[in-house]
Amino acid sequence: MIPQLVTLRMNRPGGRRPLRLFIPVLPVLLILSPLLLLAVLAGAVACLIFRVSVFGALRGIGHLLSALRGTRIEIEQGHTAVLVSLR
Amino acid sequence: MNEQRRQVLQMLAEGKITADEAERLIDALSGEEAEASPSRPKARPKYLRVLVMSDDNFGGDGKGRINVRVPLQLLRAGVRLTALIPPQALTQANAELSKAGVPIDLTQLKPQHIEELIEHLDEVTIDVDQPDAKVKVFCE
């Protein structure tokens, strides 16, 4: 299953309020679906040009997306911090 | 065979207890052993974790810390994608690597080899300890 929620948190220097974004993946994908369709078509054409299996590539990308769940990246430098979490 | 079992068998051989009693005693001992050392299989790690702690004060902003958790499944999925790389691309990459003085033949690197590498990654722990920085790579 692909990640359902992407959490983005940024602590900014100077005592400003941290920025928190909760991005629901499925609604965003639905909104971007026309663009995604174009990207998939472009990818399929590229696969045909470079003689790569289209279904193999789609399956591989599907596996990659579904494996992203649980990824967490946290970077802190002094008062500045960035957190990206995929759940 | 442990000492208690040996004693039970000894008593049976000497005729002090019957075969049924010996069986019951051995069953009871087996139960005790199972409780004493539960043989639960160790849970397989699911994530690769990279921790970096640095005391370096880059830009005067203070200490730095990096904490990355990547699912091992993601590494496996990435490895499966490498099977899609066309052979002509691998040949070109080999030529460029040779030019750069790195004679590695990427066509010999099969996905199953990398898969095996990832399978055994859960036993890896890397600890780098410097006075001003610490790096830890492990699976959890």
What are the pLDDT digits (tens) for B104-134? Answer: 888 887 777 777 887 787 778 899 998 888 9
Interface ipTM above 0.85: no
Which 3 state secondary structure label does DSSP give A56?
helix
What is the spatial distance between Cα A18 and Cα A36, in angstroms, rounded to a whole number? Answer: 31
A61 close contact with B: CB closer than 8 A: yes
What is the spatial distance between Cα B26 and Cα B28, in angstroms, rounded to a whole number? Answer: 5
Rounded to a whole number of angstroms, the distance between the first and last alpha carbons of chain B is 36
Strands laid side by side in the B125-129 sheet: A19-24, A5-11, A80-86, A72-77, B64-71, B47-54, B133-139, B125-129
What is the spatial distance between Cα A6 and Cα A86, in angstroms, rounded to a whole number? Answer: 5
Q: Give how far B114 is from chain A: nearest CA, Å.
A: 16
Q: Give how far B90 is from chain A: nearest CA, Å.
A: 12
Closest CA in chain B for residue A64: B77
- pLDDT at residue B93 is higher than 60: yes
C-beta neighbour count of B133 within 10 angstroms: 14
User: Under an 8 A CB cutoff, do A74 and B67 touch?
Assistant: yes
Q: Could you report the per-residue pLDDT of B27-86, keeping only the tens digit for each?
A: 777 766 666 555 566 677 889 999 999 887 666 667 889 999 999 888 888 878 877 888
- pLDDT at residue A31 is higher than 70: yes
Average pLDDT over residues B88-100: 89
Which of A35, A71, A39, A78 is CA-nearest to residue B62? Answer: A78
In this complex, the residue of A52, A68, A75 whose CB is nearest that of residue B74 is: A68
To test the contact with chain A by mutation, choose from B46, B50, B68, B85 the residue with the greatest count of A C-beta atoms within 10 A, namely B68
Q: What pLDDT score does B36 carry?
A: 59
What is the spatial distance between Cα B129 and Cα B114, in angstroms, rounded to a whole number? Answer: 28
Please, is B132 exposed, middle or buried when counting C-beta atoms within 10 Å of its C-beta (0-12, 13-18, 19+)? Answer: exposed
Q: What pLDDT score does B40 carry?
A: 60
Q: Give how far A6 is from chain B: nearest CA, Å.
A: 14
Q: What pLDDT score does B35 carry?
A: 61
| Residue pair B46/B118 in contact by the 8 Å Cβ criterion | no
The band of B5, judged by pLDDT with boundaries at 50, 70 and 90, is confident
The band of B16, judged by pLDDT with boundaries at 50, 70 and 90, is confident
* Residue matched to tokens 């900014």: A12
User: Under an 8 A CB cutoff, do A78 and B61 touch?
Assistant: yes
To test the contact with chain A by mutation, choose from B46, B48, B52, B70 the residue with the greatest count of A C-beta atoms within 10 A, namely B70
User: Under an 8 A CB cutoff, do A78 and B80 touch?
Assistant: no
